[in-house]
């Protein structure tokens, strides 16, 4: 993380939460500075060190370091969450579609997968619920990432005994699409028109119109080439998980905190700061993106820029029918197999040199 990004976070957190403002005690002695508290929180997040390891370096006690960590992650989520955990708007969607088309996958919006975070201090009574194939208590993160490693969707908190399908059934990833509020996505592949984007996924995910999976045992050069291309592009989300864990070691090692709410805030804060670093270091497209921040770096939420306001309907039968039909379209298996067949042909005819199948 570069210094300007760190200072922007520190200044915004100090402005947002009075806890980080340096104060004097009853004797007139200055207390801990904002820099001390933020650095203590950052060291626990970035290096995964316990709270009692900070006393000599930062001169801050264990209980105060934990308090600073909890306050810090909440402030980061509240200040930067509306911008860096936003759903893709029309401009973002067009950029994602352009990237997908250049890689041989028109209509692709990213890659989806799940990651397990080990929970060392999970209460003993909950071990049966949180322990799955990892043989230890874990909490699951479902995420969607693009080629530049920006994480567009994060759903965290499901117990580790679930698999990717169980998590998907509870995830809100397709809720906006089913409600008809998402950006319009239209594209043509091999002479067929499609109106929904899709994510690259591994084999456990269901055969829905919004997922494109690899071929387990491909027969023939076309299918082998498609499987190679799909598996290569699907690694975007795996790379995002690896970079997230490298930048914030706290989510790589076992979680030592006790309450789920704090763990959720820590994961969301790490993802938000990961996206901030991606934005700061992004130089692939050469386009400066304009965001709405005030002088201290705090995001200013303008609701007029979020699209048409929702109108509450007291006669919801047509809307309900449309909602149910949207979910049927999302889960349509015929569209899934037709899309896969069209992509196989499209890759072979138009992008036969992008991926090596030796």
Contact 115, 143 (CB under 8 A): yes
pLDDT tens digit string along 28-66?
888 889 999 999 999 999 999 888 888 888 889 999 999
Coil, helix or strand at residue 225: helix
Coil, helix or strand at residue 211: strand
DSSP codes, 106-150: TTEEEEEEEEEEEBTT--GGGHHHHBSTTSSBEEEEEEEE-TT--
Per-residue pLDDT at 358: 60
Contact 162, 132 (CB under 8 A): yes
Residues 162, 246, 261: CA angle, nearest 5 degrees: 45
Question: Please, which pLDDT band fits residue 195 given cuts at 50, 70 and 90?
Answer: confident
Rounded average pLDDT over 334-352: 88
Instruction: Give residues with Cβ within 8 angstroms of 72, minimum separation 6.
Output: 13, 20, 37, 38, 41, 269
Q: Reply yes or no on whether the pLDDT at 297 is more than 50.
A: no
pLDDT tens digit string along 94-125?
899 999 999 989 999 999 999 999 999 999 99
| Average pLDDT of the chain to the nearest whole number | 85
Contact 230, 212 (CB under 8 A): yes
Catalogue the E-assigned strands of the chain: 108-118, 138-145, 151-159, 187-189, 192-194, 198-201, 211-213
Per-residue pLDDT at 357: 63
Question: Please, which pLDDT band fits residue 285 given cuts at 50, 70 and 90?
Answer: very low
Question: Please, which pLDDT band fits residue 296 given cuts at 50, 70 and 90?
Answer: very low
What is the share, in percent, of the chain residues with pLDDT greater than 70? Answer: 87
Whose structure tokens read 């965001």? 291
Per-residue pLDDT at 303: 44
Q: Reply yes or no on whether the pLDDT at 354 is more than 70.
A: yes
Q: CA dist 79 to 35, 39, 236, 242, 298, Å?
A: 18, 18, 27, 25, 6
User: Cβ-count burial of 348 within 10 angstroms (0-12 exposed, 13-18 middle, 19+ buried)?
Assistant: middle
Coil, helix or strand at residue 51: helix
Question: Please, which pLDDT band fits residue 332 given cuts at 50, 70 and 90?
Answer: confident
Rounded average pLDDT over 70-77: 95
Per-residue pLDDT at 337: 92
**Residue that wins the pLDDT comparison between 316 and 347:** 347
Q: Reply yes or no on whether the pLDDT at 290 is more than 50.
A: no
**Residue that wins the pLDDT comparison between 77 and 320:** 77
Q: Reply yes or no on whether the pLDDT at 69 is more than 90.
A: yes
pLDDT tens digit string along 154-170?
999 999 999 889 999 88
Rounded average pLDDT over 20-25: 88
Range scoring the smallest mean pLDDT among 41-50, 226-235, 346-355: 346-355
pTM (predicted TM-score): 0.85
State how beta strands 211-213 and 198-201 pair.
parallel
Rounded average pLDDT over 192-206: 90
Rounded average pLDDT over 327-341: 88
Q: How far apart (Å, rounded) are the C-alpha atoms in residues 104 and 350?
A: 8
Question: Please, which pLDDT band fits residue 331 given cuts at 50, 70 and 90?
Answer: confident
Rounded average pLDDT over 22-28: 85
User: Cβ-count burial of 270 within 10 angstroms (0-12 exposed, 13-18 middle, 19+ buried)?
Assistant: buried
């Amino acid at each position: 993380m570069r210094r300007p990004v760190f200072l922007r976070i520190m200044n915004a957190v100090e402005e947002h939460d009075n806890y980080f403002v340096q104060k004097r005690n009853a004797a007139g002695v200055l207390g801990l500075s904002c820099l001390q508290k933020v650095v203590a929180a950052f060291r626990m997040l970035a290096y995964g060190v316990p709270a009692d390891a900070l006393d000599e370096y930062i001169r801050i006690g264990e209980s105060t370091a934990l308090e600073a960590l909890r306050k810090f992650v909440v402030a980061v989520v509240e200040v930067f969450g509306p911008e860096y955990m936003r759903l893709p708007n029309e401009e973002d969607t067009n950029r994602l579609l352009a990237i997908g088309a250049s890689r041989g996958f028109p209509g692709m919006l990213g890659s989806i997968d799940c990651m397990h975070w080990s929970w060392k201090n999970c209460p003993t009574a909950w071990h049966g619920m949180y322990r799955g194939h990892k043989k230890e208590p874990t909490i699951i993160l479902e995420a969607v990432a693009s080629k530049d490693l920006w994480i567009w969707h994060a759903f965290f908190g499901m117990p580790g005994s679930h698999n990717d399908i169980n998590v998907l059934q509870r995830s809100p990833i397709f809720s906006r699409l089913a409600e008809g509020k998402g950006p319009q996505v239209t594209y043509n592949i091999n002479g067929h028109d499609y109106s929904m984007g899709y994510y690259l996924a591994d084999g456990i995910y269901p055969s829905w119109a919004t997922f494109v999976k690899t071929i387990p045992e491909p027969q023939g050069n076309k299918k082998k080439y498609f499987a190679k291309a799909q598996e290569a592009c699907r690694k975007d989300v795996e790379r995002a998980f690896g970079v997230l864990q490298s930048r914030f070691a706290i989510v790589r090692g076992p979680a030592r905190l006790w309450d789920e709410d704090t763990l959720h805030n820590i994961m969301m804060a790490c993802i938000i700061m990961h996206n901030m670093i991606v934005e700061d270091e992004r130089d692939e497209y050469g386009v400066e993106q304009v965001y709405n921040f005030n002088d201290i770096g705090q995001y200013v939420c303008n609701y007029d820029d979020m699209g048409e306001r929702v109108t509450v309907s007291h006669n919801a039968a047509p809307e309900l029918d449309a909602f149910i039909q949207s979910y049927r379209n999302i889960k349509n298996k015929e569209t899934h197999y037709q899309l896969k067949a069209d992509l196989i042909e499209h890759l072979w005819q138009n992008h036969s040199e992008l991926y090596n199948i030796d």
